[in-house]
Amino acid sequence: MIPHERSLVDKWKDRPFALIGVNSDKTNTDKGMALYKDKQEEMGVTWRSFRNEANEPTISSDWRVRGWPTLYYIDHEGVIKHKNIRGESQMEEVLEEMIAAAEAAQK
Amino acid sequence: MLRSALAAALLLSSPALAAASCGASLVVQQDPQAAYKKLAKDFAKAMSTWQEELQAKVAAAEEAGERVPRSARRQPTKEFIASAQEFAQEYARKDAAVPFLGFILKNASAERNAVKWAVKTLASDHVESKAIGDVVDYLPRVARMAGRPAMSLMNDIADNHDDNDIRAKALLARSRQLLTRDDSEGAVADLEKVQELTKDADLLEEATEALIEVKKLAIGSVAPEIDGVDVEGVSFKLSDYRGKVVLLDFWGFW
């Protein structure tokens, strides 16, 4: 999961694409924050995440997340286009299409 | 035939029930509503006693560095479920049986046979009754114990009941069930059906609120704003990324 996501961030670094996490490690505790920092280094997490626990109610409850990971595909206008596509090749396919649409809108 | 065989099986499996059914004439003299209230009250009391005792046992076990015995974690449901079954049998085929059947659906924690029996009894004896509207909410929660019969009973009520308000209640219950499976299209269809069918203000309000909630996160909707902080403590918003495609990933290392 993480290596594939890192490769997406790399691949589209010069195009209108952002991977944004909502991290549910218990970063409101010292232990959870330490786990996050260690693992972030170790696993090479290069993208930004909201701290789920820092919001009240939590972001995941606001978004009615029932399982992890949950993925939302949001286009350049902020519209939800897909949910929970998890196959790597299909992920890339739909994102490529969405990125192309974002670029077309820039012109 | 099937019914009596099932009842016999239940009697055999439960000595308490077998003994109690000998004294059934005592039960029948009670007013069903009063009997139900008493059962519910006694059950609530037993549950809170159990919870207090469990907490004390957990604390004591932690102190002693021991494990809490599994038996202490078992909820004291068995005798109450058996008792609800007796009442349901006393009032068999009458509306008065329905609350007791509902009690079984709502409270059984491990009494799988009782739950299956309650679902079957509701389906065979009460599916056309108006009283069944009070128990439809419990059907999704027993789906795992009772399996397909619970779902088909709910579907039958949702799609076919003569009373539109009762259909609406079943549709609301089903829409909640569908949402837990991420089927927002199915949920929206059920909720819109509720709006068509009922004039009951509470049911309408519930459907309308649920629809707003579902549509908020539906494909085609503008994503709700997220205003939060990153792991470095820096504030940012989801809308900061307008103009870019965002893959929003709810995740964790754990």
Domain with residue A19: its CATH number is: 3.40.30.10
pLDDT of residue A107: 81
Query: Rounded to an integer, what distance in angstroms lies between the CA atom of residue B82 and that of residue A5?
Result: 54
Nearest by Cα to A21 from B247, B239, B249: B249
Helix (H) or strand (E) holding A73: strand A70-74
A63:B250 CB<8 A: yes
For helices B164-180 and B184-197, what crossing angle results, to 10°? 170
pLDDT of residue B17: 45
Residues from B contacting A (CB-CB < 8 Å) are: 179-180, 182, 213, 217-224, 226-231, 236, 238-239, 241-254
What is the span of the domain harbouring residue A65?
2-106
pLDDT of residue B168: 97
Residue ranges for chain B with pLDDT beneath 70:
1-29
Tokens of B177: 């069930």
A19:B249 CB<8 A: yes
The predicted-structure confidence for A80-91, as pLDDT tens digits, reads as follows 999 989 999 999
For residues A98-102, average pLDDT: 97
Tokens of B182: 């991420």
Query: Could you say which of B217, B249, B251 has the minimum Cβ distance to residue A80?
Result: B217
What stretches of chain A show up as alpha helix (H) in DSSP? 2-11, 30-43, 59-62, 88-106
Chain B residue numbers touching A72 (CB-CB < 8 A): 223, 246-248
Query: Could you say which of A36, A49, A98 has the minimum Cβ distance to residue B245?
Result: A98
pLDDT of residue B77: 96
The total number of structural domains that make up chain A: 1
Query: Could you say which of A5, A68, A77 has the minimum Cβ distance to residue B250?
Result: A68
pLDDT of residue B236: 96
